Amino acid sequence: MTNLTAPNISFIDFKLNGFYSLGEWRPFLFIPFFLIFLLAITANFILIFLTIFQKSLHSPMYVLIALMAVVDLMLPIFFVPNMLLSFLFNWSGISLTGCLIQMFFINFVGSFQSTLILWMAADRYFAIFRPLYYNKYMEIPNFVKFVVVPVIRNGLLNISMVSLAGKLQFCVTNIIEHCFCEHMALVQLACGDITINNIVGLLTVFLIPTADFIIVTISYVVIFSSLFKSGKAHMKAINTCITHIIVMASNLIFALIAFMSYRIRNNFSTNSRVFVSTMYILFPSCFNPIVYGVRTKEIRQKFLQFISEGKIHSL
Q: Between 9 and 162, whose confidence is greater?
A: 162
Looking at the domain assignment, is residue 6 inside a domain?
A: no
Looking at the domain assignment, is residue 249 inside a domain?
A: yes
| 161-203 confidence digits (pLDDT tens) | 999 999 999 987 889 989 999 998 899 899 888 999 999 988 9
Rounded Cα distance, 174 and 170, in Å = 8
Q: How many domains does the chain have?
A: 1
Looking at the domain assignment, is residue 94 inside a domain?
A: yes
Residue 34 scores a pLDDT above 90: yes
- What CATH number does residue 263 fall under? 1.20.1070.10
* Distance, first Cα to last Cα, the chain: 60
Q: Which domain holds residue 104?
A: 13-314
Residue 3 scores a pLDDT above 50: no
Looking at the domain assignment, is residue 3 inside a domain?
A: no
Rounded Cα distance, 150 and 296, in Å = 26
The pTM is what?
Answer: 0.86
Q: How confident is the model at residue 302 (pLDDT cuts 50, 70, 90)?
A: confident
Q: What is the DSSP letter of 267?
A: -
**What's the pLDDT score for residue 21?**
83
Rounded Cα distance, 123 and 142, in Å = 12
The strand pair at 93-95 and 13-16 is best described as: antiparallel
Looking at the domain assignment, is residue 1 inside a domain?
A: no
Question: How many degrees, rounded to 5, is the angle at CA 279 between CA 277 and CA 281?
Answer: 85
Looking at the domain assignment, is residue 96 inside a domain?
A: yes
Q: In Å, how far are 196, 281, 302, 306 from 217, measured between CA atoms?
A: 30, 22, 30, 35
Tell which residue, 66, 71, 59, 68, has the closest CA to residue 123.
59
Looking at the domain assignment, is residue 5 inside a domain?
A: no
Looking at the domain assignment, is residue 148 inside a domain?
A: yes
User: Which amino acid is residue 216, in one-letter code?
Assistant: V
